[in-house]
Structure formats: structure tokens, C-alpha cells
Amino acid sequence: MKRKKIKKIIDSEKIAAGEVCERPANVVKELIENSIDAGANEIRIVVKKAGKTLIQVIDDGMGIPSEEIILAFERHTSSKIRTIKDLDNLSTLGFRGEALASITAVSQVEIISRTESDEVGVQIFIDGGKCLDKKEISCPKGTNIKVKNLFFNIPARRKFLKSDATELGHITDLIQRYALAYPDIHFIYQHNELTILNCPSNDLKTTVFHIYGKSSAKYMELIKYSEDGMYFKLHGLLGHPQLSKKNRNYSSIFINHRYVISDLLFRAVKEAYKDILMIGKYPFFILHIEMDPSKIDFNIHPKKLYIRFENEDFIYNKVYNILRKFVEEKFIIKETKYLEPELDKYVIKPEENVKQPPRKVDDEAVTRSSKAENTLKKEEFIEKPVQLRLTDQDKIETSQNALLADTYIREKYIITENFPKLHLISHTGQLSNKVYVLLEGLNENDEPGLFILDQHAASERINKEFFLEMYEKSKGSKQRLISPLKIEVSATERFFLESNLSEINKLGFNFEHFGGNTFILREIPSIIQKLPKTELINEIISDITEIGKERSFAEVKEEIINYMACHKSIRGGDDLSLKDIRDLILDLSQCKDPFHCAHSRPTLRFISLKELDKLFKRRV
């Protein structure tokens, strides 16, 4: 890789963004991009106190010559472009020449660098934008830069940084994106002497395994598309619908190896998954697109996150058609591949190659066995007398048959010309859409009428008060799992769990950190009656991490409890028995606010018999 000299950018004001560092993650982003543009094969990121006291990035790239290193920290200087016209052939991540100057203005920087042609390297110290010292030093090829005490000279901005867990979450998410964008680069990421991510140079699927775990990698399919005579390539991994997420933030789109946020492309991908995703869910995918840089404008956002395409219709249709064909083939036609249950761990395998000791033969035992066998053969031909079953079981079966007949009559429509199609409601009062239950009763004024119960809203209210009571007063039972669940999480989710273990325990979930990105779930709230699958727990962790990403647990407590209440509620469409409905009404009647769900929707609606009389003109 041939390096270019660092020079002033001509017409720099036309691409200037006035870039500032808002948080530690911005600094990490700029330094990693410089390492990638320098052709590094290994990038090590060391962070202390979530980047507030130290951000160190070490690479084995081409380095910076001694005579150019001071110039590199001046505004609008770069080795990547010379004029604005070079953006049409952009092949690097950085191009404005603003980042290093912005970083040194608000921190204390130490940098050591050496090129392959130099025998010794150079070391400089910069404090608040002023170069304090420059000297020669022995060092390996590449660059080692330390950014210390971020915002030390701007207390107001430092004061508004979020908690360590939040800031670290942003840094971790960022590094994971770069590892996915460049799986051929070895990324090592440490925080407070603890290795968070060690992702060796490998293929994309292995990188997904290192970041998201085994289950995610297992349910992702490799896609690769290219066209002769056309500068357009698409490759990456598409996740099975069971990996779908609550929002689209988990997925990644890379244009020419640059992570971007594109509503256009997200819509194209989601449309390609049409009819196989649950409502309110988003596909999980990692998508790389390589295309002519002259057809893209990367310079519309200070952080280069958002882009504009020259021909949006072409891009949308191209991506949609490629992905739709792939989704139909892998997740619809070949769906049976994902339907096979994993029974291996439940089946006791016979031990192989185990020689049993020879057994001593007892002649008397053989004789007794032969006599018993002959007796059994004779008994096999003896006809047994037939006796009628005149028991209560017949009454039960008759009752069940009557119920089936009753159900058939209730569900069958009466069809007559010029008359609405009608049928009786079910014996439980649950309407055919399995969302509402029709009840009869008296309101607070002892006025008779009909109540309509929203089964999901009612269940959600019951669950919310259960979780609130458990969290605030430590009331509410837990159930200990006979076989604890081993849960693999991402690095971002791990930080959230570690920082909030005691708070999450108050909700009835007893997690223990097992090491690395693995946690053991030992207890769950008793309101979760069935043993949850690891996929469900992973989904809950993923969603509450997203809710609490920017704020403290205390700030999002209500939101997380609302989410938990909704997640474990009876759903619209669930078929309920008479007992289920009666239990639901009894539990709802014990709530402090039985008339609103966790999101303030009504649980009950009342129509008095007087109103019905008015409707039928029985009274004025």
C-alpha cells in the first residue's frame, strides 16, 4: 500500500463539517478509521473509565513520517484527498482532515509512530491543541496514540457525559461494527485491563460468532452476489426470522466498508422479509454493498453516517430483488432445515466400545426361563371375557361430545338472503377474534349491562403490578430453575447486565456472571409459569438493553417493567378456557388500577342495558 504525503486540502471549506467530539465513542471512531486507512492488520483498542481518562489505539499500519506528524494535527490536512473532486473516487474512511485537530483541542495526546523506511520513530505530546514536545524514539512500525483526560479543559461538556456503562456501550457497539466491516483485520478491545473482544482475522460468519455468539451465527445464511460488467457487489449474512429484533439498530449496512444508516436500504431489506416476520419485528442482517463511489454522496452528515444515492430507485429495487429471491429460497422453500428440533442434548447416547464382562450361565435358571416362556405362549391364545365399561367415564365422554356439538352449533353461521351472517358467541364469552371477552355484570352504580374485556390489556395490567410489587417491595415469588440456563450475550448486553444485576434481580431474574459474555440464569419470576427458552431470555435482555442504553436503570425502570408486563401477557389471539377467563377477572379485580393496561389503554368497556334499550327504541 503506497502512502501519500499529508498536505493541506484545497477548497477545504466546501467539505468542512465543523466536527466536534461529543463523547468518547467519537474519538474511538476517528482513531480506528485512521488505523484502517493506514492498512493495519491488527488494531488494539485500550480504554479506561469508559474512555473518559484514556483511549489508546495501537496499530501495525504504515505509520506517519517524522516530518509530517505535526502537520497531521492541523485542521483540514490529509493524505487521503487533495481536492473536493477526489470524493468521486473515495476509497478511504476519513477525508475531511478535521478529526485529529478536534481531538487534540479537548484532550491531552501522546503519539508514537514509525514508518517502515525509518530506523527510529517519533514521539510528540500535545496538550489542548498545543505541541509541547517532539523527540525520536525506538518503536515498532505503526502508530500508538493515547488520548488522555477527554474534555479536561471543557468541564461543562465533561459533566454531561453519560454513565460509564452507557458510554462504554457506545464504544463497544462501534468497535463491533468495525470488526464486521473488516473481518480480515484482527481487533483486540480492552477496558480497565479486561479483554472484551478478541476477534482474529477471519471470515464474516466467524466474526459474528465472536460478537453475537453461537446461536446467532448458526441461524445466519451467507449471501454473495455480483454481476459481470457492473460495479455492484452484495455480500453478507441474512438472519433467519427467529433472530428478528425489536428494532433495526442491531443490523449493519456497510457501503464500501463504511457503516451507514440508510432508511432506503432498511426498507428494501424489510420488504424482502415480507410475510415471514412477526408484526413489529425487524430482520437481523449484516450487509456489505460495494459500488462506484461517484454514485454516492458521503458528505451530507458530520459523522458520515447518512448518505445519498444518485439513483435511489435503482438501488432500492436492486437490493430488494436480490434479497427477496434469497429469502424465498433459504427461509421459505428450505425452511424445513430450521424445523428440526435439537434432540441430541436430551437423548442418552449408548456408550460405544464398552466391553461387558462375560456372564456366568446358570443351568437351572435357563430351565426355569424355558418353562415360563412356554407357559406365556399358551396364555397368549386364551380368549379374555369381554365386559362393558358401565362407569362414570361414559358420562364424561357424553358430556364432551355434547360440548363439541354445542361448539359446532355456536360456530356455524346462519346464512339467509338479505340477512346478516350470524352465529352464537362461544360458551366462554370469548369473541371469535380471540381479543375480547363479553361479560355481564353491574357497574359501580349497580346498573346492569355488558362489559367487554380486552384480554391482553387485562393481563398486562396484572403483570405490571406483579413486577412493580416485586421491584419496590421485594414481594412476589420466584421459582428456582432445576437446570439453570446458560445465556450468551453480546458485549454491549454484558455491560448492561453487569451494571444492573441487583436491579434486574428485583424483577425476579437471578443472573450470575459466568465469565466472558456468558451468564447463568438461576431464578425467574413465578408469573412466568413455563420454563423459558434461551431465545426468549436473549430477546428480553436485548430489548431491555436497548431501552436502557442512554439512561440509568432508575430512569427507565417504568419502561422496562411495562415491557416485561407486555412481553409475558396473554396475547390477542390466545384461546382461553372458562378457568383462564375467571382467573383473569379475579386477578384484575385485585389490581390497584384494574381499568388501564401498562400503556394506559382501557382494559374494560361498559354498555348499560338502558343504552341497549335506547338503541332498540325501547325507551326515549
State the pLDDT at residue 28. Answer: 95
Q: What is the mean pLDDT of residues 333-344?
A: 57
Tell which of 336, 360, 395 closes a domain. 336
Asked if residue 353 belongs to a domain, the reply is no
3-state secondary structure of 571: coil
**Residue from 507, 501, 477 nearest 489 by CA:** 501
Tell which of 201, 227, 248 closes a domain. 201
How far apart are the C-alpha atoms of 484 and 493, rounded to whole Å?
19
Band (pLDDT 50/70/90 cuts) for residue 412 is confident
Q: Please check whether residues 226 and 184 belong to one and the same domain.
A: no
Position with higher pLDDT, 377 vs 2: 2
User: For the whole model, what pTM was predicted?
Assistant: 0.71
Q: Please check whether residues 40 and 137 belong to one and the same domain.
A: yes
Q: Please check whether residues 156 and 219 belong to one and the same domain.
A: no
Q: Please check whether residues 183 and 259 belong to one and the same domain.
A: no
Q: Please check whether residues 314 and 454 belong to one and the same domain.
A: no
Asked if residue 347 belongs to a domain, the reply is no
State the pLDDT at residue 372. Answer: 46
Q: What are the DSSP calls for 474-532, one per residue? A: --S-EEEEEEEEEEE--HHHHHHHHHTHHHHHHTT-EEEEEETTEEEEEEEETTS-SPP
Q: What angle do CA 319, 320, 326 make, to 5 degrees?
A: 95
Residues 100-158: tens digit of each pLDDT? 888 988 999 999 999 999 999 999 999 988 888 999 999 999 999 999 999 998 888 88
Q: Please check whether residues 573 and 592 belong to one and the same domain.
A: yes
State the pLDDT at residue 565. Answer: 84
Tell which of 167, 201, 235 closes a domain. 201
Asked if residue 423 belongs to a domain, the reply is yes
Band (pLDDT 50/70/90 cuts) for residue 504 is confident
- Grid coordinates representing 25? 465513542
Q: Please check whether residues 454 and 475 belong to one and the same domain.
A: yes
Q: Please check whether residues 496 and 610 belong to one and the same domain.
A: yes
State the pLDDT at residue 399. Answer: 53
Q: Please check whether residues 94 and 192 belong to one and the same domain.
A: yes
Asked if residue 82 belongs to a domain, the reply is yes
- What's the structural domain count of the chain? 3
Asked whether 85 and 101 are in contact (CB, 8 A), the reply is no
195 phi, psi to nearest 5 deg: -75, 120
State the pLDDT at residue 380. Answer: 43
Q: Is 289 exposed, middle or buried (0-12, 13-18, 19+ CB in 10 A)?
A: buried
Residue 359 pLDDT > 50: no
Mean pLDDT score of the chain: 81
State the pLDDT at residue 35. Answer: 93
Q: Please check whether residues 559 and 431 belong to one and the same domain.
A: yes
CATH number, position 220: 3.30.230.10
Asked if residue 539 belongs to a domain, the reply is yes
Residue 57 pLDDT > 90: yes
CATH number, position 75: 3.30.565.10
Range of the domain at 463: 414-620
Asked if residue 466 belongs to a domain, the reply is yes
Q: What is the mean pLDDT of residues 214-228?
A: 90
Asked if residue 345 belongs to a domain, the reply is no
State the pLDDT at residue 109. Answer: 94
Q: Please check whether residues 196 and 241 belong to one and the same domain.
A: no
Determine which of 113-127, 371-385, 413-427 has the lowest per-residue pLDDT on average. Answer: 371-385
- Which helix (H) or strand (E) segment holds residue 411: the answer is helix 392-411
Q: Please check whether residues 45 and 178 belong to one and the same domain.
A: yes
Residues 472-493: tens digit of each pLDDT? 876 667 888 888 889 888 888 8
Q: What is the mean pLDDT of residues 360-366?
A: 48
CATH number, position 616: 3.30.1370.100
Residue 364 pLDDT > 80: no
Strands (E), 9-129: 42-48, 54-59, 77-78, 108-114, 121-127
Asked if residue 503 belongs to a domain, the reply is yes
Residue 353 pLDDT > 50: no
